[in-house]
Amino acid sequence: MHGCIQTDSPNVISDSIKKLRQNITESLYFEDLRESLLKKGFHATANSMDLRAEFYKMLPLLNYRAYFAVTRKDSLFFKKAMKDGDESDFFEISLKKLLHDRIISNKEAKNIFFFETIQLSKRSLKTVLESFFKDYQAYDIEYKIVGKEEENLAVVDYLNFIFDHIFTPDKMYPTMEGNFKRVSAKIGIVKMLHNNVYLSRNKPSNLQITSKNLIDNY
């Protein structure tokens, strides 16, 4: 799963997350979780359910549009891609499916990308990004590789966590279904690369972004 958010107000998102962190660390209710939050930040798999609930309350209120590229690792599409290439090659394929339309639809804008640092086999993330962006030299693009200290990354992380639960039904619980419903209007497109299915709000009902359609097309 490869996700991103697009926003014209990243500083507002950062400030909102910083304010939430401050409120939590100053709250007696979260006293036992304060040290963990300060050390790990907002990272869905590392946070307790109470912390997740606070972040998910805020998530629908922020200004962003989210996009995802999803691939089943047990699919013929993925196995063939890995046979002909390696992990870093597939990362670049997925990146192109995720970002190409975002770039060309905003060709007059200044596009600033933040990528969370990740370890890839064969090629480094820096090398993959250099290869990817060479096709977009005509556009006004700037990109940076950052760590989890970049607050905006937490939005993608928490959205990914929702999708992980949707695609793993035995993990699914009612509050996560509710979280998805509350943020679904923020999701622009979900591309299922392994079967070439694109879900969006502008498609027929069977291809709109609902939890049922995600599961049915996964």
pLDDT tens by residue, 117-164: 999 888 999 999 999 999 999 999 999 999 888 999 999 999 999 999
Q: Is 196 left (phi over 0), alpha (psi -120 to 50) or beta?
A: left
Separation CA 20–CA 149 (nearest Å): 15
pLDDT of residue 36: 87
Residue 176: partners with Cβ closer than 8 Å, 6 or more residues away: 162, 165, 166
Q: Are 145 and 125 in contact (CB under 8 A)?
A: yes
Mean pLDDT along residues 168-172: 75
pLDDT higher than 80, residue 203: yes
Separation CA 215–CA 218 (nearest Å): 5
The burial of 43, by beta-carbon neighbours within 10 Å (0-12 exposed, 13-18 middle, 19 or more buried), is given as: middle
Per-residue pLDDT band for 44 (boundaries 50, 70, 90) equals very high
Per-residue pLDDT band for 170 (boundaries 50, 70, 90) equals confident
Secondary structure, 3-state, 44-89? CCCCCHHHHHHHHHHHHHCCCEEEEEECCCCCHHHHHHHHHCCHHH
DSSP 24: H
pLDDT higher than 80, residue 169: no
DSSP 32: G
Of residues 113 and 201, the one with the higher pLDDT is 113
Which of 6-20, 106-120, 178-192 has the weakest average pLDDT? 106-120
- Strands 141-146 and 187-192, bridge-based pairing: unpaired
Per-residue pLDDT band for 22 (boundaries 50, 70, 90) equals very high
Mean pLDDT along residues 27-54: 91
pLDDT higher than 80, residue 172: no
Average pLDDT, the chain: 93
Residue 106: partners with Cβ closer than 8 Å, 6 or more residues away: none
